[in-house]
Structure 1
Amino acid sequence: MRGWLRERVRAGYEHLLRREISGSPTHVAVIQDGNRRYARQRGGDAPDGHRAGAQTTEDVLSWCQDLGVEELTLYAFSTENFDRPDEELEPLFDLLAEKLREFADAESVHDNEVCVRVIGDHGMLPERVRSAARYAEERTREYDRFVLNVALAYGGRNELLHAARGVVDDVAAGELDASDVDVATVEDRLYDCPVRDVDLIIRTGGDERTSNFLPWHANGNEAAVFFCAPYWPEFSKVDFLRAIRTYENREQSWRRTRARRALALVRAFGNAELEEARQVVDRFRDALPRRERADAEDVATTEPAD
C-alpha cells in the first residue's frame, strides 16, 4: 500500500514539474557520480553499480528527446579514473565497449537519428573501447537530429592544453598568424566535430563541484548547474525535471538582469546613443516584473532622439 501511494505521489509531482517547464536547454551535460557508492550500499561491487548506472543513462537519453534537448554529454570516465585498481577498471572497460556497440545497433538510436560521438584522449583507452567507439561513431555519423557525446578518458585541462598546443604548433609552422587567433580557432582544435555551448550541468551523488568538466563550453557560457543527492543509478525523471526547472529559473533571472541593466542605462543617458540597450530592453522586457514592464515598453517604443 505504501509503495502504491509513494508511486502516486511521485507521478503527481512529476506531472506538476512538467507543467512548470515551458522550454528546455539545448545542451545538457551530466556528471554520473555515485555508481560505486550505490553498489557498496547494497553489498555489491563497483561493476554492479556501473551496470545499474547504464540503465539510467538510457533513461536520461529518452527524457532528453522527450523534452526537446538536442545534445547530451555524459562524463563516463575521466583521466583521473585510471588510478582505480585493475579489478575495477577491466569490468568497466568491458561495459563501456559493450554499451557503445549496443547503442550503435539500437533501433531507438537509429529511429531518433542519434549521432554518437566519443570525446576525450582516445589513446589512453584499451583497444576494445577504442574499437567500440569507432564503431558507434561510424554507424551514426550521418545523423544530426540528436547528439550524444560520451566523454571517455576526459579531462578539461587536458582538453584545453591539447588545443593550445595545436594553436602554437600552427603559428610556429607559419600556417596561422598569431593575430588571427580567436574563439573559433580554439574550438576548431578541441574536437573533430563542433560541440554546442553547455546550458545545464547536472551532477548526481551529492558532491557540489563540476570536476573540470567541459570548461570551455560550460564556464564560457555561464551554464546553470544542478547538484542532487541521488546516486546515478537512483537518478529519476523527477530529479531530471527539477534540473530543467533550475535551468529555466536561472535563464529567467539572467534575462531579467539584462533587461534591468539596459533599462537603467537608457534612463541615465537617454536614447540617443544607446540603441543597443533599447533593443535589449525590448527583447527581455517580458522577464521583468509586471510593475516594471510599463517603463520598459515606453523605452522600447520611443524613437531615439536626434
Structure 2
Amino acid sequence: MRTRVREGVDRAYERLLRREVDDGPTHVAIIQDGNRRYARDRGDDAPDGHRAGAQTTEQVLDWCEELGIEELTLYAFSTENFNRPEHELEPLFDLIENKLYEFADAERVHDNGVCVRAIGDIDRLPERVTDAVDYAEERTGHYEQFRLNIALAYGGRNELLRAARDVVTAVQSGDLALDDVDDAEVERRLYRQPVRDVDLIIRTGGDERTSNFLPWHANGNEAAVYFCAPYWPEFSKVDFLRGIRTYESREASWQRTRTERAVALVRAVAGVELEEALAVGTRLRDQLSNRGAEELSAELERQNAESAD
C-alpha cells in the first residue's frame, strides 16, 4: 500500500514538473556517475552497475525525444578510466561494444533519425570497440533529427591540448596563417565530430564537479549545471525534469539581465541621438527572447513618442 502511494505521489510530481518545463535546452550533456557505487551497495560487481546504468541511458533517450531535445552527450569513459583494474575494464569495454552495435541496429534509432557518434581519443580504445564505433557511425551518420554523442577515452584538457598542437603544426607548416587563428579554427580541431554548444550539464552520484567535461562547448557557453544525488542507474525522469527546470531558471535569469542591459543602453544612447538609439535597439532586439524583444520594442516606441512630442 505504501509503495503504491509513493508511486502515485511521484507520478503527480512528475506531471507538475512537466507542466513547469517550457522549451528546454537544445543540447544536454550527462556525467553518468555512480554505477560502481550502485553495484557495491547491492553486493554486486562493478560490471553489474554498468549494465544497470545502460538501461537508464535508454530511458533518457526516450525523455529527450519527448522534450524535443536535439543533442545528448554522454560521458561514458574518461581518459582517467584507463587506470581502473583490468577485471573492470574488459567487461566495460564489452558493454560499450555491445551497446554501440545494439544502438546502430535498433529500429527506434532509425525510426527517430538518431545519429550516433563518438568523441574523444578513440584510437586508445581496444580495436573491437573502435570497430563498433565505426559501425555505429556508418549506420547512422546520415541522420540529422537527433544526435547522440558518446564520449569515449575523453578528457577535456586532452582535447584542448590536441587542438592547440594541431593549430601550432598548421601554422609552422604554412597551412594556416597566424592571423587566421580564431575560435572557429580551434573548434574545428576539437573532437572527432562537430558538437553544439552545451546548454545543460547533469551529473549524477552526488559529486559537484564537472570533471573536465566539454570545457570548450560547456564552460564557454556558460552552461547550466545540475548536480543530483542518485547514482546513474537510479536516475529518474523526475531528476531529469529537475535538471531541465534548473536550465530554464538560469536561462530566464540570463535573458532578464540581457534585456535590462539592452533597455539601459537604448536609454543612454537616446539621451544623445534618437536615430542611433533606434538603430542600436533594432540590432539588440534580434538577440533577445520574445519577451525581451517585446520589452525593448516598447522602450523604443516610448523614446520615439517622447521625441515626437
1:80 shift after superposition:
0.5
Aligned-residue offset at 1:194? 1.6
Deviation string 1:110-162 (CA, Å, 9 cap, x unpaired) is 11010000110011111111111111111111111100000000000000111
Aligned counterpart, 2:193: 193
CA separation of 1:197 and 1:295: change in aligned 2, threshold 3 A = closer
Q: CA deviation at 1:176?
A: 0.8
Structure 1 contact 38–49 (Cα < 8 Å) conserved: yes
Report if aligned partners of 1:74, 1:150 keep a CA contact under 8 Å in 2.
Answer: yes
Matched residue of 2:147: which SS?
strand
Task: Name the aligned partner's letter for residue 35 of structure 1.
Answer: N
Percent sequence identity over matched residues? Answer: 68
Shift of 1:299: 3.0
**Structure 2 residue aligned with 1:286:** 291
The code of the aligned residue for 2:104 comes to A
Q: Which residue of 1 aligns with 2:212?
A: 212
Equivalent residue, structure 2, for 1:114? 114
- Secondary structure at 2:87 match in 1: helix
CA distance, structure 1, for counterparts of residue 252 and residue 263 of structure 2: 16
What is the deviation of 1:62?
A: 1.0
1:29 is paired with a residue whose SS is strand
Cα displacement (A) at 1:284: 4.4
Shift in alpha-carbon separation, 1:179–1:86, aligned structure 2, 3 A: same
Inter-partner Cα distance in structure 2 for 1:100 and 1:46: 20
| Structure 1 position 179 matched with structure 2 position 179 | yes
Maintained 8 Å contact 1:281/1:299? no
User: 1:61-210 residue pairs with structure 2 within 5 A?
Assistant: 61-210=61-210
The alpha carbon displacement at 1:178 in A equals 0.7
Output the amino acid matched with 2:119: I
Q: Report the 3-state secondary structure (helix = DSSP H, G, I; strand = E; otherwise coil) of the residue aligned with 1:69.
A: coil
Query: What is the CA distance between 1:104 and its match in structure 2?
Result: 0.6
Gaps of 5+ in 2: none
Paired letter, 2:284: V
Residues 190-239 of structure 1, C-alpha deviations (whole Å, 9 max, x = no match)? 13432110010000001111000000000111111111000000000000
CA 1:193 to 1:301, structure 2 compared with 1: closer, same or farther past 3 Å? farther
Q: What's the CA shift for 1:294? A: 7.2
Give the length in aligned residue pairs: 302
Instruction: Using the TM superposition, give the Cα deviation of residue 83 of structure 1 relative to its aligned residue in structure 2, in angstroms.
Output: 0.8
Query: TM-score normalized by structure 1?
Result: 0.93
Shift in Å, 1:278: 5.9
Asked if the contact 2:266–2:280 (Cα under 8 Å) also holds between the matched residues in 1, the reply is: no
Amino acid at match of 2:179: S
What's the counterpart of residue 298 of structure 1? 299
Name the Cα RMSD after superposition: 2.1
Shift of 1:188: 1.2
